[in-house]
Amino acid sequence: MKKIGVFTSGGDAPGMNAAVRAVVRTCIYNNIEAYGIYEGYKGLIEGKIKQLTSKDVSNIIQRGGTILKSARCKEFHTKEGRQQAFDNIKKFELDGIVAIGGDGTFTGAAIFNKEFNIPFIGIPGTIDNDLFGTDNTIGYDTALNTVVEAVDKIRDTANSHNRLFLIEVMGRDAGFLALRSGIGVGAEAILIPETQTYINELVKKLDDDTKNHKESMIVIVAEGDDAGGAYEVAEKIKEHCPNYDSRVTVLGHIQRGGSPSVADRVLASQLGNAAVNSLINNKTNVMVGIINKEVAFTPFQKAIKHNQKLNTDLLGLAEVLSC
Ligand code: ATP
């Protein structure tokens, strides 16, 4: 390995910069030139590639977003687009690529690797935590803390008015963020895509809470819940029980931003370092993660299959603790 390229792709996640820094510095430590590829696969196709020095990545470990920018790139879905990406990899003489992103990014990497045999290694960077092969993805912990901080504030106003709040958090296909943040804020109910939502049961729970003189009720709704987003759930509750004076808050993109937590900075630093070491040791076409405090490698195909198990026991815990 003489030259390694690194890019960030898909949705940005806090801690991506810490991972880029770790990749660049580990390269330099091993006398390898590091190249930043800007805007993910788009930059690979358009040749937006620039050598990065140690100084280029100084003072970024604490910054949210990604200095390399991110993009969703349709052209990479086509053979012609991938051919152009390959031509640029050859032009810049890159011997290996580190891709920081989510399941779409790794799907693209696996296809590309099969076609052109370019060594790729993936680092899980997404707030959704929906990748198999790592306990946590980069950005998940920070997003959890962001949600908890926001909901704590909403709880103050909800308590003052004895109100029911439905709060929508990110998670089109996965309920990790909703479930864990729901426990963290002491939610009265948590609705996630992995389990079926019965509105009549939810209304019964809220009725019981009202009878128990709860001063406020918080329901966390993952955006991909089968009953719909928070607005739809609010409508359905109203159909069952017109008396409820509910309010809806959609947290939205606030969940992606902000300075990464210590946990995300450390995770990103470990994974960035491990990714470069893996390329040096000819271990490619895998995602690097941390399982039980140990570095672990998972083939792309396995990492993206949504095998990551959600601890549904936590739903029972939420019910017990919100009685
Ligand atoms: P997040 O989980 O935060 O959304 P992601 O990596 O899943 O991140 P996507 O937008 O799904 O984000 O994927 C990132 C990019 O990967 C896409 O814009 C596209 O360029 C590439 N990609 C995704 N799926 C494929 C595919 N089937 N073939 C080729 N490229 C793909």
- The domain that holds 162 is classified in CATH as 3.40.50.460
Written as one letter, the residue type at 307 is: N
- Cα radius of gyration rounded to whole Å, the chain: 22
* Residue 311 within any structural domain of the chain: no
DSSP-assigned beta bridge partners for residue 37: 49
What is the pTM for the complete model shown?
0.96
* Residue 317 within any structural domain of the chain: no
Q: Could you tell me if 192 and 133 lie in one domain? A: no
CATH classification at residue 271: 3.40.50.450
Q: Could you tell me if 238 and 108 lie in one domain? A: no
- The residue out of 256, 289, 316 marking a domain boundary is 256
Residue 89: which of 137, 41, 124, 138 has the closest Cα? 41
pLDDT of 309: 83
pLDDT of 213: 86
Higher per-residue pLDDT: 319 or 191? 191
Tell me phi and psi for residue 228, to 5 degrees.
110, 180
Are 80 and 107 in contact by the 8 Å Cβ rule? The answer is no
- Catalogue the long-range contacts made by 240-243 (C-beta closer than 8 Å, 24 or more residues apart): 240/199, 240/200, 240/203, 241/203, 241/206, 241/207
Q: How far apart are CA 319 and CA 323, in angstroms?
A: 7
* Residue 167 within any structural domain of the chain: yes
11 Cα: distance to centroid of ligand 1 (angstroms): 9
pLDDT tens digits, 216-230: 999 999 999 999 999
* Residue 321 within any structural domain of the chain: no
* Residue 322 within any structural domain of the chain: no
Question: Is pLDDT of 232 > 90?
Answer: yes
Are 9 and 70 in contact by the 8 Å Cβ rule? The answer is yes
Q: 282: burial class by Cβ within 10 Å (0-12, 13-18, 19+)?
A: exposed
pLDDT band for 243, please (50, 70, 90 cuts): confident
Active site residue 128: yes
User: What residue ranges line ligand 1, CB within 6 angstroms?
Assistant: 9-11, 41, 72-73, 76-77, 101-105, 107-108, 111, 126, 128
Q: Could you tell me if 109 and 210 lie in one domain? A: no
23 Cα: distance to centroid of ligand 1 (angstroms): 21
pLDDT tens digits, 61-115: 999 999 999 999 999 999 999 999 999 999 999 999 999 999 999 999 999 999 9
Residue 123: which of 108, 138, 112 has the closest Cα? 138
Residue nearest to atom 2 of ligand 1 (CA): 102
- Region 267-281: mean pLDDT is 98
- The residue out of 256, 287, 316 marking a domain boundary is 256
pLDDT tens digits, 155-209: 999 999 889 999 999 999 999 999 999 999 999 999 999 999 999 999 999 999 9
* Residue 17 within any structural domain of the chain: yes
pLDDT band for 294, please (50, 70, 90 cuts): very high
Q: Could you tell me if 56 and 101 lie in one domain? A: yes
Question: Is pLDDT of 134 > 90?
Answer: yes
Are 37 and 68 in contact by the 8 Å Cβ rule? The answer is yes
Range of 97's domain?
A: 3-139+260-305
Q: Could you tell me if 133 and 278 lie in one domain? A: yes
Mutation to probe ligand 1, out of 7, 76, 129, 177 (largest number of atoms < 8 A from CB): 76
Q: Could you tell me if 124 and 21 lie in one domain? A: yes
Tokens 């040096």 -> residue:
280
pLDDT tens digits, 250-264: 999 999 999 999 999
Q: What percent of the chain shows pLDDT beyond 90?
A: 90
Q: What percent of the chain shows pLDDT beyond 70?
A: 100
* Residue 153 within any structural domain of the chain: yes
Q: Could you tell me if 14 and 106 lie in one domain? A: yes
Q: How far apart are CA 304 and CA 286, in angstroms?
A: 11
111 Cα: distance to centroid of ligand 1 (angstroms): 11
Mean of the per-residue pLDDT values for the chain? 96
Q: Could you tell me if 158 and 246 lie in one domain? A: yes
Q: What is the DSSP string of 190-244?
A: EE-TTS---HHHHHHHHHHHHHTT-S-EEEEEETT-TT-SHHHHHHHHHHH-TT-
pLDDT of 19: 98
Collect all residues with Cβ–Cβ distance below 8 Å to 106 and sequence separation of at least 6: 99, 122, 131, 287, 300, 303, 304
Tell me phi and psi for residue 41, to 5 degrees.
-60, -30
Structurally, how many domains does the chain consist of? Answer: 2
pLDDT of 302: 94
Q: What is the atom index within ligand 1 of the atom nearest the CA of 128?
A: 2
